[in-house]
Amino acid sequence: MNDEFKERLDEWLELKKQLKEITADTKLLKNREKELASYIKTVMSQNSIDMIKSEKQHTSVTHSIKQVKAGESVKSLKERLFHFFEARNQIDVFNLLMTYLEESRGEKQVETIRTSKSS
């Protein structure tokens, strides 16, 4: 292996190490932010507060509640479609649809490199 490859490998490994440390710190900060956001939403909701200003941070916080569609997993979508076709006595159509969807699903090639501890 040439020197350029070795240098870039060492740099990559050092970046991975640094990113791992930063990710751990970020996770702690995100968890704390979620805890605080949950508390703030609860207090604002219980006290019917729509907006509050922070003089210290020179910003405002707005609280709102709205209805949104729930997330959809493949499993729940299949279950809903099954019940739809079952209610119409068209299980054969459901099976054809599932077979088509599974067989026509595209594929892609994924190339990876990983690290492991040497002994």
CA proximity to 40, closest of 55, 56, 54: 54
Beta strands in 55-116 (DSSP E): 59-62
Q: What is the largest CA-CA distance in the chain?
A: 68
Please provide residue 54's backbone torsions phi and psi, each rounded to the nearest 5 degrees. Answer: -110, 110
Over the stretch 88-117, which tens digit does the pLDDT of each residue have? 999 999 999 999 999 998 999 988 888 888
Over the stretch 17-37, which tens digit does the pLDDT of each residue have? 999 999 999 999 999 999 999
Q: Which residues are CB-contacts of 115 (< 8 A; sequence separation ≥ 6)?
A: 13, 16
Give this prediction's pTM.
0.62
